[in-house]
Chain A
Amino acid sequence: MNLKIIIMNNLEIHVATEFNKALGARYIYEGQFSGQQFLETLLSPRFEEAKEKKVKLVIYLDGVLGYPSSFVSGSFGKLSMSHGAESVLATIEFVSSNSLRIEKIVREITKPIKK
């Protein structure tokens, strides 16, 4: 009997190379490289794909000048609000040499609402 083993590769997002080194604010109308733009063009489609394929979405955070609060809230916060924090954290894995960056984003996903 021939067993066909399919290895499903994790999906990846390299923020600095696939999106931009200098990130913007929250909304598209505020200017380029906003959180909303990141959510709509990269994060949300890859997240859906990863969930569908039942694989992890690995996001490489390094190589970027910074992650402004409004960008994080407009992308990861919004994703968490629409899919739930548990589902987001179960699917996404973050890679960065700066642990504070990961903490900041995870905090936003866990608690996207201000109060």
Chain B
Amino acid sequence: MASIEENKIGKIRGTYQEKRSGKTYRIARQRRLKRWKDSKDFFVVPKGYVHNIVNLSAPINFSFIEYTNDVLEYLKVGRENLKNHNAIRFDVSKIEYFTPEVIPLLISHIKEISFNNKVPIHGNAPENEKFRQIFTQSGLYNYVKSKKKYKIAENNLLHKEANFKVKPDIAARSVEMIIKNCNCNQEYVEPIYNIFIELMSNTHHHANLKQYGYSKWWLYVFHDETTKKISLSFLDLGVGIFKSMIVRTYLKKIGRSLKLVDNVGLVSDLLSGKVQSRIDIDNEIRGKGIPQIVEYSKLECFEKFLLITNDVKIDLKTDKTEKLTSNLRGTFYYIEFKNYNHE
């Protein structure tokens, strides 16, 4: 037995020695040594690459749907610091008011290379017990490095789609969760399901100007145990709807280039499907997704239905439009469902 083992080892050693004596191996080794001696190898991290850690205290009212400009400004400051190779700390410890849709907004930015610039981002949790619980049970900690692992609340779902796909199974799971928790009538299953698919599909086509199907999307379904309300946040950090659309009317085109027509002026065209995306295939039959979302948004089962993209915030329930002072590089939908449990 021993001699068989020795033979085997001898064979392996022989093959390795033969490989080492080969020309290709010798050249590669010489190059490796040269790189190491010159200290230009990739594993040598240049000193001062990360200048320092900047603590960024979150706005006291940390709500993206209610204090949109403040939250966007907060992200903007973070982006600028990261661009200058300053590591940042998202300090949310002192927040006094909080709505859960900021969780997918924060994590999506943290994970986005165009935002983080490959510079470390640190963070903490709110001191307020209720907010802390929402934070830890959201699933956010599954996407960051943390000493502690937290269990995700039963009726919460935080999903990142990195394969750039429309996921009918995720949509089905979310619809089931929503219907079960708000005790919705079954007639709303179809509109809610269709909305999910249209949101995912729009991301696939409109999020990136150079290549469709390139941007990631995030989905967060949150069930508030206290109010028993369920909300849905869906976002992508692409270019945003207004940046991805082509203005059809000649006058508006000129107006836009001269900055006489801003994005708010294009909202009605967007909602009625009169705008065209930059994707050039099947344009004559495409463009029905957003009008369908708008139509569904008026249904009774939705208490809130917001769309925030670029510098525009649209309340799809009331058609109220607001021009933002800061810009969201991407598209964000927020839907709050009516709770039928009390009826």
Contact = CB atoms under 8 A, between A and B. Distances in A.
Interface residues of B, number: 29
The residue in A26, A33, A67, A77 that gathers the most chain B C-beta atoms within 10 A of its C-beta is: A26
Contacts of A34: 166
Nearest to A72: B288
Contact of B190 (A21, A25, A29, A65): A65
A33 B165 CA distance: 11
B284 A69 contact: no
Interface of A is mostly: loop
B333 to A, nearest CB: 15
Given A20-B168, A113-B285, A114-B284, A68 B197 contact: yes
Q: List 7 tightest A-B contacts by C-beta distance, closest first.
A: A66-B193, A22-B168, A31-B165, A25-B201, A68-B197, A31-B166, A66-B190
Interface in B145-176: 165-169, 171-172, 175
B298 to A, nearest CB: 15
A96 B190 CA distance: 13
Interface of B: 165-169, 171-172, 175, 189-194, 197-198, 200-201, 204, 213, 273, 282, 284-289, 292
A114 B285 contact: yes
A32 B168 contact: yes
Given A25-B204, A30-B165, A78-B285, 17 more contacts: A20-B168, A24-B197, A25-B166, A25-B201, A29-B213, A30-B204, A30-B213, A31-B165, A65-B190, A67-B190, A67-B194, A68-B194, A69-B292, A77-B285, A113-B285, A114-B286, A114-B288
B286 A73 contact: yes
Interface residues of A, number: 30
The residue in A31, A33, A67, A77 that gathers the most chain B C-beta atoms within 10 A of its C-beta is: A31
B194 A69 contact: yes
Contact of A70 (B189, B201, B273, B284): B201
Nearest to A73: B285
A55 to B, nearest CB: 28
B168 A31 contact: yes
B191 A70 contact: no
B171 A22 contact: yes
Contacts of A101: 190
A23 interface: yes
A98 B201 CA distance: 25
Nearest to B197: A68
